[in-house]
Structure formats: structure tokens, C-alpha cells
């Protein structure tokens, strides 16, 4: 018999998509978390009871339809770090690397067998290092930005209509910018809706939508897809099984579970970030907006050290990286692509 555990997902200003999809995944039990491209939380289960929220963590046999059982209140604390090595700009010279730190806490309260609510607070720090002389540094009069902090908070309600259908809706807000940037000018917010259908114990599929404000370029509207498919014993295709601090809601993973405590996955996701710049430095960049988008592909190793403790290690390559810079008036100053770059990361989550 399995135990249902809540797992928050990502943030909204850092990884709008990861945050959004995890935030909206109803039958899969997800909650929001990461920056725009991130997510605030999803439910994970190891050894679910007869009628749990379908599992969202790697490994395990089968998923039951959508009437949850288990603890009335469940909480997860999570963190992690990732380093993206130098990526050379494709034109104009120079390079950029990024170190990222993640932390957060999420709680889910089961009000009755069909109704649940969840809250999550998440943090992501991105520490950029622009090296050499590049087009973006020349336009900005130096490094366009250095350290970016994002703090996100979100809540969600989910309801199981029966053993097949489940729906959810959520709201989230985030502050994302350099340390001295105006808080009011760094705030974005949005909401998600979604529904899933359990075709069987082994296949759940659903969809939804994200609507969010952006610091530049107007509102963001993104269709969301949720999938959790037990293809065969020990083999799973899912976008709700990633680490709490690095969810895969905006992408997908193929996961192999050779033994109960171990799982290995290969996957990818889309990431998108926007953040407010502070008023220091040249007028061209002061009070403007920075942006980053990319598509990381990875391999992942997961180890469940105990019923409560999960550890993950990822390594991979980041593709189609693009860095954008707007001035305070909203005019785009430049958009620069980089060559693929390698990254490594590690994540930990503790549930109780």
C-alpha cells in the first residue's frame, strides 16, 4: 500500500511554464511553484492507497483513479542548486554562465475525500556571469545584469468529481528582479485551470491553460498538457515526476524504475524568465527588463533514501538559449543567442 505525499512544483517568474503546468495539474495533484516557466507544486505518491491522487514521482506500479486518501495535511520542504557552464554567444563574442539556487515549502490540506487546497512559497536565485566583450554587454555598458532573485507564492484548489475526472484552479504571484530593483515594478501574477481524466490505472491525460502578466510583451497565455502513463512494469512517461525544485511540467520525461529506491529518467522542458533590472549602471539598462529562455535536455538519477527523503541528480545540455534586454521604456535593445552549454544540478526534498 502506498502513501500519498504532497509535492510542490516550481516558480513563475523563473520558469513560467514549469510553474504553470505543475500549478494547474488537477488529477495529477500538482501545485504551483517555479518562476514563469517553473511551478509551485505537485502531489507525489509512493505506494499509493487504493484510491489515491495518481502518483507523480518516479517508480512504482500503477496509478489509481482520482479519489485521494492519506494524510489530511502533508508538507514538503525542498531545495537544490544547478550550474550552467559557459555558453558562447553566437555573434559579437563573449559568453555567459549561470549558477541557480532553489528553495521552498508547500503544504496541501485535504478537506474531504474529493476536495483539497494547497499553498506554496518558493525562492530562486540566479547568479549570472557575463564574460568577455559581447553585443549585449556593449549595449548595456557592462554586464546587463548580475544577481536576480525571485520569490513566488501561490495557492490552488482541486476537486475530484469521480474516480476518473478531476479539476483544479489556482492563483499565483511573484516578485522577480535584481536585488535593488523596484518591488512594485518586479511583480507579476496569473492563474491556471486544468482537468485530467484517468482512462485506467496506468494512463492519465489532461489539459489546461495558464494566463499570466509579464514585465514586457503583454499577457502570456500558454496551453498546458498533463500526462502520466505507465507504459510497462518499471517504465513511465510523465511530466509530473521531476524534483520539487526542478519540475518537468513544461516538458516530459521517460523514466525507468529498476528497483524501488532508484529511478532514472531522460527528459526536457522549456524555460522562460523575465526580471526587472535595478536603476544602477548606464541609462540604457537602468530600470529595464532582462529575459532568458532555453530548452534543457537532461538525464536524471533519483534515490529515495527513505519514505520522506528524496534526492535527485541531473546533468544535461541547454539548447536554444536566448538572452534579451529591454530599456525602461519597453523598447527591446537586443536579443542574443548562445551555443549549447552543459549543466549539472542536485535537488533534495523532505516530506512530512
The per-residue DSSP string of 192-258 comes to: EEEEEEEEETTEEEEEEEEEE--SSSS-EEEEEEEEEEEEETTEEEESS-S-TTS--TTEEEEEEEE
Work out the average pLDDT over 296-324: 95
Question: What's the CATH code of the domain at 19?
Answer: 2.40.160
- Show Cβ contacts of residue 157 under 8 Å, excluding neighbours closer than 6 positions: 115, 116, 117, 118, 168, 169, 170
Of all residues in the chain, what percent carry a pLDDT higher than 70?
80
Tell me which H or E stretch contains 351: strand 341-351
Looking at the predicted structure, is the pLDDT value of residue 68 above 70? no
Looking at the predicted structure, is the pLDDT value of residue 42 above 50? no
Q: What is the pLDDT of residue 51?
A: 31
In the β-sheet with 11-12, what is the strand arrangement from edge to edge? Answer: 3-7, 40-46, 30-35, 11-12
What's the maximum distance between 2 C-alpha atoms anywhere in the chain? 61
Task: State the Cα–Cα distance between residues 282 and 93, nearest whole angstrom.
Answer: 21
Mean pLDDT over each residue of the chain, to the nearest integer: 82
More confident residue, 45 or 259: 259
Looking at the predicted structure, is the pLDDT value of residue 90 above 60? yes
Q: What is the pLDDT of residue 282?
A: 81
Task: State the Cα–Cα distance between residues 27 and 150, nearest whole angstrom.
Answer: 28
User: Residue 92's pLDDT band (boundaries 50, 70, 90)?
Assistant: confident
Quick one: residue 112, left, alpha or beta (phi over 0 = left, psi -120 to 50 = alpha)?
beta
More confident residue, 345 or 54: 345
The residue range of the domain holding 259 is: 3-351
Looking at the predicted structure, is the pLDDT value of residue 238 above 70? yes
Looking at the predicted structure, is the pLDDT value of residue 256 above 50? yes
Work out the average pLDDT over 204-219: 91
- Match 568577455 to its residue by C-alpha cell: 132
Instruction: Read off the pTM.
Output: 0.80
Looking at the predicted structure, is the pLDDT value of residue 221 above 60? yes
Q: How many domains does one find in the chain?
A: 1
User: Residue 146's pLDDT band (boundaries 50, 70, 90)?
Assistant: very high
Q: What is the pLDDT of residue 69?
A: 55
Of 7-21, 106-120, 173-187, 232-246, the range with the lowest mean pLDDT is 7-21
Amino acid at each position: 500500500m502506498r502513501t500519498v505525499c504532497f509535492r510542490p512544483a516550481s516558480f513563475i517568474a523563473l520558469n513560467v511554464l514549469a510553474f504553470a503546468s505543475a500549478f494547474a495539474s488537477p488529477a495529477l495533484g500538482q501545485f504551483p511553484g517555479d518562476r514563469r516557466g517553473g511551478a509551485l507544486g505537485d502531489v507525489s505518491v509512493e505506494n499509493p492507497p487504493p484510491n489515491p491522487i495518481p502518483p507523480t514521482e518516479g517508480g512504482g506500479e500503477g496509478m489509481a483513479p482520482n479519489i485521494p486518501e492519506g494524510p489530511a495535511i502533508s508538507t514538503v520542504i525542498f531545495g537544490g542548486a544547478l550550474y550552467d557552464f559557459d555558453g558562447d554567444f553566437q555573434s559579437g563574442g563573449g559568453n555567459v554562465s549561470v549558477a541557480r539556487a532553489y528553495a521552498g515549502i508547500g503544504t496541501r490540506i485535504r478537506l474531504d475525500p474529493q476536495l483539497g487546497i494547497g499553498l506554496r512559497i518558493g525562492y530562486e536565485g540566479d547568479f549570472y556571469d557575463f564574460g568577455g566583450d559581447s553585443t549585449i554587454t556593449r549595449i548595456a555598458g557592462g554586464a546587463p545584469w548580475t544577481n536576480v532573485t525571485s520569490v513566488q507564492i501561490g495557492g490552488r484548489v482541486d476537486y475530484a468529481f469521480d474516480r476518473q475526472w478531476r479539476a483544479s484552479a489556482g492563483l499565483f504571484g511573484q516578485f522577480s528582479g535584481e536585488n535593488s530593483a523596484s518591488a512594485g515594478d518586479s511583480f507579476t501574477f496569473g492563474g491556471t485551470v486544468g482537468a485530467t481524466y484517468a482512462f485506467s490505472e496506468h494512463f492519465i491525460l489532461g489539459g489546461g491553460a495558464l494566463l499570466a502578466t509579464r514585465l514586457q510583451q503583454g499577457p502570456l497565455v500558454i496551453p498546458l498538457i498533463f500526462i502520466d502513463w505507465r507504459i510497462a512494469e518499471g517504465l513511465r512517461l510523465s511530466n509530473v515526476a521531476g524534483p520539487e525544485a526542478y519540475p518537468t511540467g513544461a516538458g516530459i520525461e521517460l523514466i525507468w524504475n529498476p528497483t524501488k529506491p532508484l529511478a532514472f529518467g531522460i527528459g526536457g522542458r522549456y524555460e522562460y524568465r523575465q526580471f526587472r533590472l535595478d536603476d544602477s549602471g548606464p541609462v540604457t539598462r537602468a530600470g529595464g527588463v532582462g529575459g532568458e529562455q532555453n530548452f534543457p535536455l537532461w538525464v536524471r538519477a533519483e534515490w529515495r533514501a527513505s519514505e520522506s527523503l528524496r534526492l535527485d541528480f541531473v546533468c544535461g545540455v541547454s539548447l536554444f538559449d536566448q538572452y534579451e534586454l529591454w530599456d525602461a521604456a519597453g523598447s527591446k535593445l537586443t536579443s542574443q543567442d548562445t551555443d549549447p552549454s552543459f549543466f549539472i544540478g542536485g535537488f533534495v526534498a523532505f516530506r512530512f
